[in-house]
C-alpha cells in the first residue's frame, strides 16, 4: 500500500462558483488504477466528487480524463505509473522529485458538466453522427448475412476497436484551434465504413470529408491522438488512410493538402532538405520542371500565403529573403541515403496495421522468416502486411 495525493480540478455548477483545485489523500496498491483512487476519495472524503465510470476494465469508454496533462482512461492508468510521471514532470521543472500530486482534470475540447464529467454529446457524439456511422450498401440486402472475405476486413479492424471514450478528441491540438474540426474519433469511425467492402458510398463519403474545410485536411499530424488512444486505434493513421484513398479517387481537396503531401515527398527526394518556397509553389500549383503552372487558384493561393511567408521571416523560420525564391534553397550534398530510403519505401509498398495481433498461414511463416515475433501481450502491436 502506498500514499498518493490526487489534485483534482473540480467544478460544481450548482455552487455558482468557477472551477477550483482540491487535493485528496488516498492509499492503495501502485498497480491499482487512478480511477480507484478517485473512487476512494469519493467514498472516504467527499461523495459529491463526480466521475463517470462503469466497467473499470477499459471496455465501456466512460472514464476518459486527463492525468498529469495526458488524456486517457482513469481505469487503465495505474496510479503508481501516474505518480512516476508526476514526479518526472516536477523534476523537469526543478521541483522536488518525489511525492508530487497526481493532477487530474476533465477531458479537453469539451464543455465540463461537473468535476470530471464532460458533455460528450455536444462535441464527440455530434461529430460521430456527422460521418454517417453506418453501412450504406446498394441493392437488395442478401437473404442471409453479407459474406465478405476475412482478408478484406483486416484494414478496418483497427478502427473497429474504438470504444468511443473521447480521449483522442480531448488531446487533439487541431480541435483546440478549430472546434469545428470533425476530429480524430469521428474520422477513425469514417474510415471504418470507407474501408468496409460492403459499403457502396465510398466515393461520396471521401468527397464529403475532403471538401469539408474541417475535414481530413484539418489534421496537423501532431500524433497526440495516437498517444492518447487506449485501444491502439491510432486515429491519425486512419485519417492518413482517408487522405490516401481520396487522392487515389482523384478527389481534389480545397486546401491543397494532398498536393502539399506530394510536394513534400517530391522536394525531399530531389534536395534531401525542405525548400519552403518551392513547397509553396508545388503545393498550390504543381508545375513542370519547376515552372509555375499558372491558374487562377494557384495565383490566389500564392498571394494568400504572403502573410505566412512574412511571419516566417519575422520569426526566423525563413532566415533570408532569397530563400523565398523557389528553387534557390541549396541541395544537401550527399543524396545516397535519401535515395535509399525512397527506394526502400517503393519496394516495400506496405502499411503496418498495428492493431492486429494474430496471423495465420503464409503470413506467420513469412514473419518468422523475417524474424518478426508474435507478441504475448494482447494489447501489443503485431506487424501485419496490410496491402
Binding site for ligand SF4 (CB under 6 A): 162-168, 171-174, 184-185, 188, 219-225, 228-229, 231, 233, 235-236, 239
Alpha-carbon span 163 to 64, nearest angstrom: 11
Place of cell 525548400: 275
Does residue number 53 form part of the binding site for ligand FES (CB under 6 A)?
Answer: yes
Alpha-carbon span 35 to 79, nearest angstrom: 8
CB of 296 to ligand SF4, least distance (A): 30
* Residue among 63, 209, 279, 318 that touches ligand FES (CB under 6 A): 63
* Residue among 19, 27, 55, 291 that touches ligand FES (CB under 6 A): 55
Q: Which does 56 bind (CB under 5 to 8 A by kind): ligand FES, ligand SF4, none?
A: ligand FES
Place of cell 497526440: 224
Nearer to ligand SF4, 20 or 223 (CB): 223
C-alpha 97: how far from its chain's center? 31
Nearer to ligand FES, 10 or 231 (CB): 231
Q: Which residues of 174-198 are buried (b: 16+ CB within 10 A; e: fewer)?
A: bbeeeeebbbbbbbbbbbbbbbbeb
Nearer to ligand SF4, 10 or 127 (CB): 127
Nearer to ligand SF4, 159 or 277 (CB): 159
- Which distant-in-sequence residues (6+ apart) come within 8 Å of 157 by Cβ? 353, 355, 356
> Coil, strand, or helix at residue 305?
coil
The helix, strand and coil proportions of the chain, stated in percent and rounded to the nearest 5, come to 45, 10, 45
Q: Which does 72 bind (CB under 5 to 8 A by kind): ligand FES, ligand SF4, none?
A: none
Q: With contacts defined by CB under 6 A, name the span among 55-63, 273-281, 318-326, 369-377 that binds ligand FES.
A: 55-63
* Residue among 6, 10, 28, 62 that touches ligand FES (CB under 6 A): 62
Q: Which does 168 bind (CB under 5 to 8 A by kind): ligand SF4, ligand FES, none?
A: ligand SF4
Alpha-carbon span 28 to 5, nearest angstrom: 11
Which positions lie near ligand FES, rule CB under 6 A? 53-56, 58-63, 73, 75
Amino acid at each position: 500500500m502506498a500514499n498518493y495525493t490526487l489534485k483534482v480540478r473540480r467544478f460544481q455548477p450548482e455552487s455558482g462558483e468557477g472551477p477550483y483545485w482540491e487535493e485528496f489523500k488516498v492509499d492503495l496498491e501502485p498497480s491499482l488504477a487512478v480511477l480507484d483512487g478517485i473512487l476512494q476519495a469519493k467514498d472516504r472524503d467527499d461523495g459529491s466528487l463526480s466521475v463517470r465510470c462503469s466497467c473499470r476494465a477499459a471496455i465501456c469508454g466512460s472514464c476518459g480524463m486527463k492525468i498529469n496533462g495526458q488524456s486517457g482512461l482513469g481505469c487503465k492508468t495505474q496510479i503508481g505509473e501516474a505518480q512516476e510521471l508526476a514526479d518526472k514532470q516536477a523534476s523537469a521543472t526543478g521541483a522536488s522529485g518525489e511525492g508530487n500530486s497526481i493532477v487530474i482534470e476533465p477531458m479537453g475540447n469539451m464543455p465540463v458538466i461537473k468535476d470530471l464529467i464532460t458533455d460528450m454529446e455536444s462535441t464527440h457524439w455530434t461529430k460521430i453522427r456527422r460521418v454517417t456511422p453506418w453501412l450504406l450498401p446498394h441493392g437488395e440486402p442478401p437473404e442471409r448475412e453479407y459474406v465478405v472475405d476475412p482478408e478484406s476486413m483486416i484494414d478496418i479492424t483497427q478502427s473497429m476497436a474504438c470504444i468511443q471514450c473521447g480521449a483522442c478528441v480531448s488531446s487533439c491540438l487541431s480541435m483546440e484551434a478549430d472546434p469545428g474540426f470533425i476530429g480524430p474519433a469521428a474520422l477513425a469511425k469514417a474510415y471504418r465504413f470507407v474501408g468496409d467492402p460492403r459499403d457502396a458510398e465510398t466515393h461520396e463519403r471521401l468527397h464529403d470529408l475532403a471538401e469539408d474545410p474541417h475535414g481530413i485536411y484539418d489534421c496537423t499530424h501532431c500524433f497526440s491522438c495516437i498517444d492518447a488512444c487506449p485501444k491502439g486505434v491510432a486515429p491519425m493513421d486512419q485519417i492518413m488512410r482517408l487522405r490516401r484513398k481520396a487522392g487515389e479517387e482523384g478527389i481534389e481537396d480545397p486546401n491543397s493538402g494532398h498536393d502539399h503531401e506530394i510536394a513534400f515527398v517530391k522536394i525531399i527526394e530531389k534536395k534531401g532538405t525542405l525548400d519552403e518556397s518551392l513547397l509553396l509553389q508545388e503545393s498550390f500549383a504543381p508545375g513542370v520542371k519547376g515552372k509555375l503552372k499558372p491558374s487562377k487558384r494557384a495565383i490566389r493561393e500564392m498571394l494568400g500565403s504572403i502573410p505566412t511567408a512574412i511571419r516566417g521571416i519575422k520569426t526566423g523560420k525563413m532566415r533570408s529573403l532569397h530563400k523565398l525564391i523557389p528553387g534557390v534553397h541549396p541541395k544537401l550534398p550527399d543524396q545516397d541515403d535519401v535515395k535509399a530510403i525512397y527506394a526502400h519505401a517503393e519496394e516495400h509498398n506496405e502499411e503496418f496495421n498495428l492493431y492486429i495481433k494474430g496471423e495465420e498461414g503464409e503470413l506467420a511463416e513469412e514473419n518468422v522468416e523475417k524474424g518478426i515475433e508474435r507478441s504475448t501481450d494482447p494489447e501489443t502491436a503485431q506487424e501485419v502486411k496490410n496491402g
